[in-house]
């Protein structure tokens, strides 16, 4: 889990995914020689800070978002949210501005909910702050900030090792409503003619989706993907005896939203391990669910 | 109205429009020989569960959504909504799961508004339930669930009988915010170069749009289509003496939203009969308004 | 400021931008002979009521929306909003219907907030009303309705005088969530291969962005553009000593939203003078900020 630990420590709030992109690029360049198939690596002009890995003759694409939630310094000591982080007085936030490294403390006003930081000096306006990473591993669980979605990225990298045909797309801006999947999806569709997509992301432990009971396959969140596609995925998971749980929610969203609302007839499905303490520094995922997540992606990229 | 009755009984909640598509496909194949022009029928790969009928040299497209609102089984006895159905304890819901046909009763908690079903057994997680159809016809009115939008579909089929030039596009996902009009519109625009669209759907009886006083032509809902296009439509309706009412709302949406936000310069207009008891099992439409709806579509597909 | 005064008086609520388009078209045709470069003027079929000016070999596009907020007559004496105007009993609204010119008074119900008009007769359903223009100029400030965004349009016209390479795009529907930038952006990207965009619009005076202290460069509103692009813009402004203020908000939106959610990898940034009394008949902007706005656009169109 050393790779996952390093991913969780990278600074890449929405809109500033460049450190994740560069890390992943180096990682792929360093490790692809041991992979079953060496992918075409696509990045740079026309792709902003995104990264695509294209293996063989793809039929399906995995989307895994690189960006994280966080905070941005507004005026004076004020903070505004990047995406929807949990806020609790005392959380340690880290970042960097023109005067150097920052390690400060989040403070939430009890009355009006306004957010500020405690620090010995004023921080530059517009500076991004993210949760300080405290990576904790037990025999059964992983706990850290940003398992959402460094774990989705990590899982995609495990799948990449043996992937023969498929695309792995690392995008940004997911936590703030999107901005890259639409053009990545267009490129992928136009180049390879494919319309099948899997969203490799982390979901919530709820009364119906429990830690340790398998990877979640989402029949719906605020959006509803085509039922026949999701039913096919569930059938494949059943036949392969991969531990899984069917998720049915009426809120939340993912990169699937950009696919659903695009001008390409995507069949898509959200598949990911559930986590507890969502969007906090203490996101907690069960290792069995991580294992099932990698297994189902390997299966689906082969079978779909 | 036997055709409309059958349409209202089909199971096709958003994301699972396949039964509507198959019914319409058979209907068109069986009846087109008696139509003025035999359309090109487009469906299958690249079109998910949608269906296009292309007549002659099209200048304008009619969009009619096939999907309906409904419910989906969450965890235990819980239900979540598909779209925005009215909820009232006692409504009969129907569906099917791995154990067979289901006819159960909706229950809404008086305190927290949570939704559950009453049934002698637990229903499979993720099962879709829709209103049981009780189709009622009087001399003046039609009443049933799902007149929104089986009536919009039915109207388009009436127009198809004498249509010489135009496209009729049956799409899905309208009740949950869209997902097919964007790619259908792209295909239609790229193939036929057209930018005029009419949204064949059902609207609300309000203090300004009354049952029996004509088809509604919408100047706006939450979105505002190009004024010059809607004014032209109103002028044509006036000249032809087709009973119509101008609708001005600041809420609601339709397939027009996907057109408005697309990267094609669509001129679009929502035109449809108004209904009472919206999104309930008792949607009520006046026959005179249905007649005016068919008439105005015939006119516009000829004149625009 | 005579040009700005005339722009502020034009009737062009969202969806009905035709008067602005025609005014701008005539203005450009009349004045381009004195400009450094004569642009290609693109409008008409396929562009609805929008207008593009293409100078030389463009690398960057300026988007300036032509539409304004306003009101539309609903049923009886009711009004609904077009976009988000400030509402205060006593505001004078103007428009025209089948019976002639209208000058009426806005009335907001103190209890339920509902909007009506006071006028000696009933106004045609669907009639658009806008704020009556009271243009006020002092040595330091300009005050009028619709500085948002006639000032953004005006600024783009100043920049056009010396522009050598670039696109100026006048669009519509911004105040109601968009509808033209998506297709304009597609055309511009496909024709000229560019992915850099500046949003020429007016923002809010806040505790962190003050009147007279420079043009605002927005690091974010409800959306977050790519950080590296905005940082580059800020650096250029610093090097050129153009008075500017960095804006960090967590609400609001602009034409940038349509770019961010498109299927083209746009780098975009909102840059505009801040105003007080937003969306009222009394929008107030400091002349120094207007000057800085024109200066930064000239700089960026040259340097980016």
- The ipTM (two decimal places) reads 0.97
What stretch(es) of chain C map to CATH 2.40.30.40? 70-131
**What pairs with residue A51 in β-bridges?**
A43, A170
Give the residues across from A197 on adjacent strands: A61, A268
State pLDDT tens for residues B90-142: 999 999 999 999 999 999 999 999 999 999 999 999 999 999 999 999 999 99
C262 and B265: CB-CB below 8 Å? no
The contact set of C with B (CB < 8 A) is 14-16, 18, 46-49, 72-76, 80-82, 125-126, 128, 173, 176-180, 182-183, 185-186, 258, 262-263
* Residues of chain B that touch chain C, judged by Cβ-Cβ distance less than 8 Å: 195, 206-208, 219-220, 223-228, 246, 248-250, 260-265, 267
pLDDT for A2 equals 96
Return the percentage of chain C with pLDDT > 90, whole number: 100
* Residues in a beta bridge with C43: C51
pLDDT in tens, C40-73: 999 999 999 999 999 999 999 999 999 999 999 9
pLDDT at C117: 98
Kindly give, in sequence order, each residue whose CB lies less than 8 Å from that of residue C48, ignoring residues fewer than 6 positions away: B226, B265, B267, C172, C180
Question: Ramachandran region of residue C43, left (φ > 0), alpha (ψ -120 to 50) or beta?
Answer: beta
- CATH of segment(s) C2-68+136-303: 3.40.630.10
Residue C280, pLDDT score: 98
Instruction: Encode pLDDT of A24-73 as tens digits.
Output: 999 999 999 999 999 999 999 999 999 999 999 999 999 999 999 999 99
- For residue B261, the chain C residue with the least C-alpha distance is C179
pLDDT on residue A164: 98
Find the mean pLDDT for residues C225-237.
98
Å between A224 CA and nearest CA of chain B: 6
Can you tell me the distance from the alpha carbon of C136 to that of C12, in angstroms, rounded to the nearest whole number? Answer: 20
- CA-to-CA distance for A103 and A80, rounded, in angstroms? 17
Interchain CB distance below 8 Å, A227 and B82: no
Q: Helix C18-31 crosses helix C2-9 at what angle (to 10 degrees)?
A: 160
Rounded Cα distance between C29 and C34, Å, is 10
Q: In the 8-state DSSP scheme, what is residue B184? A: H
Q: What letters, b where the CB count within 10 A reaches 16 and e where it falls short, cover C268-286? A: bbbbbbbbbbbbbbbbbbb
Give the closest residue to B256 by CA, choosing from B65, B102, B81, B118.
B65
pLDDT at C159: 98
CATH 3.40.630.10 placement within chain A: 2-68+136-303
Number of alpha carbons in the 13 Å side-chain half-sphere of residue C269: 26
The reply to whether omega before B186 is within 30° of 0 (cis) is no
Test A226 with B15 for CB contact under 8 angstroms: yes
Q: What is the mean pLDDT of residues C259-274?
A: 98
Would you call B249 and C176 a contact, using CB atoms and an 8 Å cutoff? Answer: no
Chain B contact residues (CB < 8 Å to A): 14-16, 18, 46-49, 72-76, 80-82, 125-126, 128, 173, 176-180, 182-183, 185-186, 258, 262-263
pLDDT at B54: 98
CA-nearest residue to A186 within chain C is: C263
**What is the average pLDDT value for chain C, to the nearest integer?**
98
The pLDDT mean for chain A works out to 98
- A47 CB neighbours in chain C (<8 A) are 265
Does the distance separating the beta carbons of B126 and A260 come in below 8 Å? Answer: no
- Partner-chain contact B225 C176, CB within 8 Å: no
Q: Give the pLDDT band (50/70/90) at residue C3.
A: very high
Q: Report d(CA B17, CA B1) in Å as an integer.
A: 22
Average pLDDT over residues A90-97: 98
Residue whose token pair is 């496209």: B167
pLDDT band at C238 (very low <50, low <70, confident <90, very high): very high
Which of C196, C268, C223 has its CA nearest to residue A178?
A: C223
pLDDT of residue B181: 98
What pLDDT, on the 0 to 100 scale, is given for residue A196? Answer: 98
Q: How many helices (H) and strands (E) does chain A have?
A: 7, 19
The mean per-residue pLDDT over the stretch A196-218 comes to 98
pLDDT for B245:
98
The pTM score is: 0.97
Contact at CB, A223 and B82, closer than 8 angstroms: no
**Arithmetic mean of pLDDT, A114-120:** 98
Q: Do A224 and B82 touch (CB under 8 A)?
A: yes
Residue A141, min C-alpha distance to chain C (Å): 33
Read off the pLDDT band of B172 (50, 70, 90).
very high
Closest partner residue to B208 (CB to CB) among C75, C81, C185 is C75
SS3 C129: strand
The residue behind tokens 């669209």 is B197
Q: Given this model, what pLDDT does residue B105 score?
A: 98
pLDDT at A174: 98
Is C179 close to B248, i.e. CB distance below 8 A? no
The rounded distance, in Å, linking the Cα atoms of B148 and B203 is 8
Per-residue pLDDT band for C277 (boundaries 50, 70, 90) equals: very high
Mutation target to probe the B interface, by most B beta carbons within 10 A, among C11, C12, C14, C15 is: C15
What is the pLDDT confidence band of residue A227, given thresholds at 50, 70 and 90? Answer: very high
CB-nearest to A225 from B15, B72, B81 is B15
A181 and A171 Cβ atoms separated by less than 8 Å: yes
Q: What is the pLDDT of residue C98?
A: 97
- A260·B185 Cβ contact <8 A: no
Q: A263 vs B182: CB contact, 8 Å cut-off?
A: yes
Q: Span C123-133, mean pLDDT?
A: 98
CATH number assigned to the domain with residue range A70-131, chosen from the 4 options 2.40.30.40, 3.40.50.720, 3.30.565.10, 3.20.20.150? 2.40.30.40
pLDDT at B164: 98
3-state helix, strand, coil in chain A (%, to 5): 30, 30, 40
Query: Which of the other chains make 3 or more beta carbon contacts under 8 angstroms with chain A?
Result: B, C
Q: What would the two tokens of residue C91 be? A: 């505001």
* Nearest C-alpha neighbor of A82 from the set A13, A131, A8: A13
Q: Which residues in chain B have Cβ-Cβ distances shorter than 8 Å to A264?
A: 183
Q: Which of B186, B255, B182 lies closest to B225 in space, CA to CA?
A: B255
Q: B with C: how many residue pairs have Cβ under 8 Å apart?
A: 70
Partners of residue A263 in chain C, C-beta under 8 Å: 263
pLDDT category at B297 given cuts 50, 70, 90 is very high
DSSP alpha helices (H): ranges in A69-225?
147-160, 181-192
Set of chain A residues whose Cβ sits within 8 Å of the Cβ of B262: 263
How many inter-chain contacts (A to B, CB under 8 Å) are there?
Answer: 69
Give the model confidence (pLDDT) of C176-218 as tens digits: 999 999 999 999 999 999 999 999 999 999 999 999 999 999 9
Query: What is the predicted pLDDT for the residue at B264?
Result: 98
Over pLDDT 70: what percentage of chain B? 100
Contacts of residue B227 in chain C, CB cutoff 8 Å?
Answer: 15-16, 128
Cα distances (angstroms) measured from residue C179 to each of A100, B268, C67: 43, 12, 11
Tell me the per-residue pLDDT of C65-104, one tens digit each, with 9 for 90 and over: 999 999 999 999 999 999 999 999 999 999 999 999 999 9
The helix (run of H) or strand (run of E) holding residue C30 is helix C18-31
A261/B182 touch (CB, cutoff 8 Å), yes or no: yes
| Cis geometry, peptide bond prior to residue C16 (ω within 30 degrees of 0) | no
């Amino acid at each position: 889990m050393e790779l996952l630990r390093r991913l969780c420590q990278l600074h890449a709030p929405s809109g500033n995914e460049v450190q994740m992109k560069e890390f992943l690029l180096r990682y792929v360049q360093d490790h692809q020689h041991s992979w079953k198939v060496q992918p075409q690596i696509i990045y740079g002009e026309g792709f902003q800070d995104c990264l695509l890995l294209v293996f063989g003759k793809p039929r399906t694409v995995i989307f895994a978002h690189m960006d994280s939630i966080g905070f941005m310094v507004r005026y004076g000591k004020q903070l505004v949210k990047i995406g929807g982080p949990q806020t609790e007085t005392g959380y340690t936030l880290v970042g960097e501005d023109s005067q150097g490294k920052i390690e400060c403390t989040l403070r939430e006003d009890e009355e009006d909910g306004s957010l500020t930081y405690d620090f010995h000096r004023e921080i530059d306006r517009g500076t991004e702050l993210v949760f300080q990473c405290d990576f904790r591993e037990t025999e059964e669980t992983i706990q850290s900030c940003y398992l959402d979605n460094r774990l989705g990225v990590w899982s995609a990298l495990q799948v990449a090792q043996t992937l023969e045909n498929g695309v792995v797309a690392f995008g940004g801006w997911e936590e703030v409503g999107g901005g890259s999947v639409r053009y990545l999806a267009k490129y992928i569709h136009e180049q390879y003619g494919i319309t099948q997509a899997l969203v490799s992301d982390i979901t919530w432990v709820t009364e119906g989706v429990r830690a340790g009971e398998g990877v979640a396959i989402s029949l719906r969140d605020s959006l509803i993907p085509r039922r026949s596609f999701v039913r096919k995925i569930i059938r494949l998971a059943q036949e392969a005896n991969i531990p899984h749980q069917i998720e049915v929610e009426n809120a939340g969203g993912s990169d699937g939203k950009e696919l659903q609302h695009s001008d390409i007839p995507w069949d898509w499905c959200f598949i990911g391990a559930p986590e507890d303490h969502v969007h906090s520094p203490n996101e907690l995922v069960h290792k069995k669910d991580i294992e099932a997540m990698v297994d189902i992606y390997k299966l689906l990229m082969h079978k779909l």
